[in-house]
């Protein structure tokens, strides 16, 4: 493997590492209250409509 | 003789949907580049998915199904109005909770500012394949393109990101020491295995 190929692979790996870190950080955040409230509302609608 | 554990009942699709909220928020943020818009997009996606949950085929990949709903909603409803709120100055990136490293990895803030400069299709491709771990053919199917097209998008996105970060090969990574090269190459091989 040439130094150029290695450099490219390292660059790609750095990009992938950072992408994953940013993505995982956001994905692990607490779900906002508004979204939880929406889910409660959807569940309540299902309950009032009976099983589908 | 001990009885084997009973096979657990499959998770109700609505319950499974809830387990994907975190990744949906992350995907939405990468598409919209704005926290508040991303959460609106996720809410719209959840409502659509919930109302169409009977169309989800049990045993298939729910995350892919949800991602497809989210991206379709983004392109049909959000793309045209997002210019009003887009984070072109990198305000979002500056408020990231991920702290920059001091061990040689790219500073996260710089990285996200550069990432947000990519076009929609390139950000999407990198998010699906690089961050979410979908295979090229899965990402291609979600986006309605050929697998080769998705590969091209990912490659172009990586190259463009490299340019924006001034990471262009030889200039940045001038590896002349054979010992260093061997260590780095070995590390890459381990990480990819």
ipTM metric: 0.87
Mean pLDDT of all residues in B31-37? 93
A37 lies within 8 A of chain B by CB: no
* Distance (Å, whole) CA A15 – CA B169: 13
pLDDT at B160: 93
- Rounded average pLDDT over B163-176: 58
If you count them, how many residues does chain B have? 193
Question: Average pLDDT in the B7-36 region?
Answer: 90
Across the interface, do B22 and A9 touch by the CB < 8 Å criterion? no
Mapped onto helix, strand or coil, the DSSP state of residue A2 is coil
Higher pLDDT, B13 or B148: B148
Over residues B80-93, mean pLDDT: 54
CB atoms A20 and B162 under 8 Å: no
Counting one residue from chain A and one from chain B, the pairs whose CB atoms sit within 8 A come to 112
Is residue B28 within 8 Å of residue B41, measured between CB atoms? yes
Q: How far apart are the first and last CA of chain A?
A: 59
Measured in angstroms, the CA of A2 and the nearest CA of chain B are apart by: 10
B175 pLDDT band, cuts 50/70/90, is very low
Q: What span, in angstroms and rounded, lies between the C-alpha atoms of B65 and A46?
A: 21
Whether A23 and B127 lie within 8 Å, measured CB to CB: yes
Check if A2 contacts B (Cβ < 8 Å): no
Q: For B72-84, what is the mean pLDDT?
A: 78
Nearest C-alpha of chain B: how many angstroms from A11?
7
Find, among B99, B88, B94, B43, the residue nearest to B66 by Cα: B43
Residue of A nearest to B48 (CA): A42
The answer to whether A17 faces chain B, any CB pair under 8 Å, is yes
Please provide the average confidence, as pLDDT, over all residues in chain B: 79
Q: CB distance B25–A7 less than 8 Å?
A: no
Interchain contact, A26 vs B26, CB within 8 Å: yes
A4 contacts: CB under 8 Å, gap ≥ 6: B169, B170
Query: What confidence score (pLDDT) does residue B8 get?
Result: 66
Separation between Cα atoms, residue B30 and residue B24, nearest integer Å: 10
Which ranges of B61-119 does DSSP label H, i.e. alpha helix?
62-73, 91-94, 108-115
Helix (H, G, I), strand (E, B) or coil at B161: helix
- Those residues of chain A that have pLDDT short of 50 are none
**Residue B2's Cα: distance from chain center in Å?**
45
Cβ-based neighbours of B132, under 8 Å, separated by 6 or more? A23, B23, B27, B63, B67
Q: Search chain A and give the residue with CA nearest B114.
A: A15
Q: What share of chain A is helix, strand, coil (3-state, %, to 5)?
A: 80, 0, 20
Q: How far is A40 from chain B (nearest CA, A)?
A: 11
| C-alpha torsion angle, residues B94, B99, B104, B106 (rounded to 10) | -30
User: How many angstroms separate the first and last alpha carbons of chain B?
Assistant: 40
The pLDDT of residue B145 is 97
Mean pLDDT across chain A = 87
């Amino acid at each position: 493997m040439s130094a150029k190929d290695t450099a490219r692979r390292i660059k790609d790996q750095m990009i992938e590492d950072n992408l994953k870190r940013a993505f995982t950080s956001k994905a692990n955040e607490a779900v906002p209250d508004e979204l939880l409230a929406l889910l409660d509302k959807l569940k309540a609608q299902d309950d009032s409509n009976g099983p589908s | 003789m001990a009885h084997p554990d009973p096979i657990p009942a499959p998770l109700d699709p609505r319950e499974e949907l809830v387990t994907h909220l975190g990744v949906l928020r992350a995907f939405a943020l990468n598409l919209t580049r704005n926290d508040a818009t991303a959460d609106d997009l996720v809410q719209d996606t959840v409502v659509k998915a919930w109302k169409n949950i009977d169309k989800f085929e049990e045993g298939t990949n729910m995350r892919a199904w949800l991602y497809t709903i989210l991206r379709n909603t983004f392109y049909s409803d959000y793309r045209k109005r997002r210019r009003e709120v887009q984070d072109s100055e990198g305000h979002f990136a500056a408020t990231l909770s991920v702290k920059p490293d001091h061990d040689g990895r790219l500073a996260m803030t710089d990285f996200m500012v550069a990432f947000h400069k990519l076009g929609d299709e390139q950000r999407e491709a990198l998010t699906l394949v690089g961050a979410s771990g979908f295979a090229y053919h899965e990402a291609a199917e979600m986006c309605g393109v050929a697998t080769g097209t998705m590969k091209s998008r990912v490659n172009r996105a990586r190259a463009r990101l490299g340019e924006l970060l001034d990471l262009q090969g030889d200039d940045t990574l001038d590896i002349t020491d054979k010992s260093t090269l061997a260590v780095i190459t070995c590390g890459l091989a381990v990480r990819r295995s």
